[in-house]
Every structure is written in C-alpha cells, then in structure tokens.
Amino acid sequence: MKPTLLILAAGLGSRYGSLKQIEPVGPNGEAIIDYSVYDAIRAGFGKVVFVIKKDIENDFRESLLKRFENKIETGYVFQELDMLPEGYSLPSDRKKPWGTAHALMAAEGNIDTPFAAINADDFYGLEAFTGIEKFLSERSVSDTDYCMIGYKLKNTLSEHGTVSRGVCKTDQNNFLVGITEITKIQRESGMIIYYDNDKPQNLPEDSIVSMNMWGFTPVVFKQLKELFTSFLNKNINDPRAEYFIPTPVDRLIREGRAKVKVIDCDASWFGITYKEDRDAVRKSILKKIEEGVYPASLWK
C-alpha cells in the first residue's frame, strides 16, 4: 500500500500578495509544487491530493493538474470557510482560512492510506520525502504512530521578513514531547529571536522545528474534527485565530492518544513567504539542476 501525499494549497498568501502556490520558479515554469510531486513519485508515493480554494479551481486545473497526468494518480478537495461542525455558524467578519489542521480535515473521504501532509509553497527535497515514505509504508491505516520531518531552525529562515515555526521538544528516542507555534521569528544582530509581549526572546540555532511536513494515518481525521470543536469554542469570534496542525498534535501527545516520531533532516528549507524570496528560490532550483538533482524540465 503506497502512501498518499496531501498538499495544502488553500492559503490566501496574504504576505506574498498573490497566488504563490503556482508561482513559476523552475526554468520551464515549474512551481514548487511540481518539485514536491516529482520527489514524491521518486520516493514511492502512489497518489497526490490537493487542498485548494474553490475560486482557484480553474487556474489550478489548467496551470498545474494537467502536468501530472499519466505521472501519478491525483485528486483535489476544497477548503472553505463555512466548513464547520453542526451547530456552528460562520462569523460575518471571518475572511481568513481556518488554518492547516482545518485543511487536513477537508481531505477526509479522499484518503484511505497513511499519508504525508505538506505546504504547497515550501520546498522539502528528496531526502525528506524518502524518509517520510519509509515511515508511512510501515504503518497500518489504524495506527496512531505519526511522524514529522524536523529541520534545524537556522536552515529555515527567510532573509526578507519574519517566519512562523513549530518549535519542537523531543525525548531521548526522538519522539515529540511537545510543539509550540512561535510567530515572528527572525535573525537580528547575529541571533535568532522572536518577540513575546514586545520583549525579544532568543532561540537556539539548532532548535528542531516543524516545516509542516507530517506523516499521519486516516485515524487523525476523527481526532482533528473532535479537537476543532474545542478550538471553535475558544476562538470562533477571533477573526485571525487559526487551527494550526501543531495545536491538536501537541494535545494528542499530551493526552497519550498519539506518538510522533521526529525524523531529522539536515537539508536547508526554502520557500516563498515574501515576494522577495522568489529570486532566491529560483537560484536554489537552478543550482540543484546544475548539480544533477533535477532535470532542467521535470515533465518532459
């Protein structure tokens, strides 16, 4: 049973200012998504499912989905603001998507194998896909043994602004003990800092962080739906609150309802958080092509 790759591509891209999920970064118009799908195929994944917004469906089908025909089985689902549990109504001032864990929930019914979940606009590399595929291929669909690819914080920063990262705490066996979502992380005066109540706090460069590359089984859908209700009870009237994957995962670990193995990855992440990141991503892709990691044209 080959695992499935779930690609989260429904974010607004508010900091970037446009539809960065299909931004060309390769020499033949490839987006970061193309490289993720290419690496997933090489690593042994059997299917790709995309989470998108309905209003980008036509662009998505014409710009991306056609590229993968005859390469790997594909499908897509919609993440919409009004996808709420029975008894809850969408607040009139809610414009922002409900977050990455909510996006995962949208895929229930379209995934029946262990699966990896990733962001559409982050480049993870073959090493990460190979590591997570190996873990998932050894899982049954009823397991609550999950995994996460862990990157060193120093390898995941943007030169053009702050980033948000799930900072991880692990035990001696590299199982996740807890994960804390920290926002507005940046390098300043030679240190990596974030601000807590306007006070700068240091973070070690080798801190293990989540880049939102997770390995789950279908059991997680029921767990996420249950915990989403708790989230809404506290946050439904906050128009900026988001149901990030680390939030329910941290609770599942603390309650003993799941284990998460952290798979270390020494590679440098890159992605498009800000428009200024685009040129750096293109240069990184070209370098990997020159090194023979990727062909100049992925799909020809």
* Lowest-confidence pick of 34-43, 51-60, 202-211, 242-251: 51-60
231: its two tokens: 């989230």
User: Is the model more confident about 299 or about 56?
Assistant: 299
233: its two tokens: 């009870």
How much is the pLDDT for 21?
A: 59
Asked if residue 296 belongs to a domain, the reply is no
Domain span including residue 70: 4-290
Q: How far is CA 111 from CA 4, 41, 151, in A?
A: 7, 17, 26
| Average pLDDT along the chain | 91
Predicted structure pTM score: 0.90
Q: In sequence order, which ranges of the chain are alpha helices (DSSP H)? A: 32-43, 57-63, 100-106, 126-137, 219-235, 246-254, 277-290
Task: Please report how the helices 219-235 and 246-254 are oriented relative to each other, as an axis angle in degrees rounded to 10.
Answer: 110
> 10 near 54, Cβ under 8 Å?
no
Counting the structural domains of the chain, the total is: 1
How much is the pLDDT for 259?
A: 97
Asked if residue 298 belongs to a domain, the reply is no
Q: 111 CB contacts (<8 Å, ≥6 apart)?
A: 4, 6, 49, 218
Asked if residue 145 belongs to a domain, the reply is yes
Report the CATH number at residue 65. Answer: 3.90.550.10
pLDDT band at 60 (very low <50, low <70, confident <90, very high): confident
Asked if residue 81 belongs to a domain, the reply is yes
Q: Does position 53 have pLDDT exceeding 90, yes or no? A: no
Question: Could you report the per-residue pLDDT of 217-263, keeping only the tens digit for each?
Answer: 999 999 999 999 999 999 999 999 999 998 899 999 999 999 999 99
Asked if residue 268 belongs to a domain, the reply is yes
Question: Could you report the per-residue pLDDT of 16-41, keeping only the tens digit for each?
Answer: 344 555 778 999 989 899 999 999 99
Asked if residue 141 belongs to a domain, the reply is yes
> What is the rounded distance in angstroms from the CA atom of residue 83 to the CA atom of residue 155?
35
Question: Could you report the per-residue pLDDT of 103-123, keeping only the tens digit for each?
Answer: 999 999 999 999 999 998 889
Asked if residue 284 belongs to a domain, the reply is yes
> What is the rounded distance in angstroms from the CA atom of residue 184 to the CA atom of residue 194?
6
> What is the rounded distance in angstroms from the CA atom of residue 216 to the CA atom of residue 218?
7
Q: What is the mean pLDDT of residues 194-215?
A: 91
Asked if residue 299 belongs to a domain, the reply is no
Burial call 105-130: b when 16+ CB within 10 Å, e when fewer: bbbeebbebbbbbbbbbbbbbbebbe
The amino acid at 110: N
Q: 286 CB contacts (<8 Å, ≥6 apart)?
A: 27
> What is the rounded distance in angstroms from the CA atom of residue 182 to the CA atom of residue 194?
8
> What is the rounded distance in angstroms from the CA atom of residue 228 to the CA atom of residue 247?
10
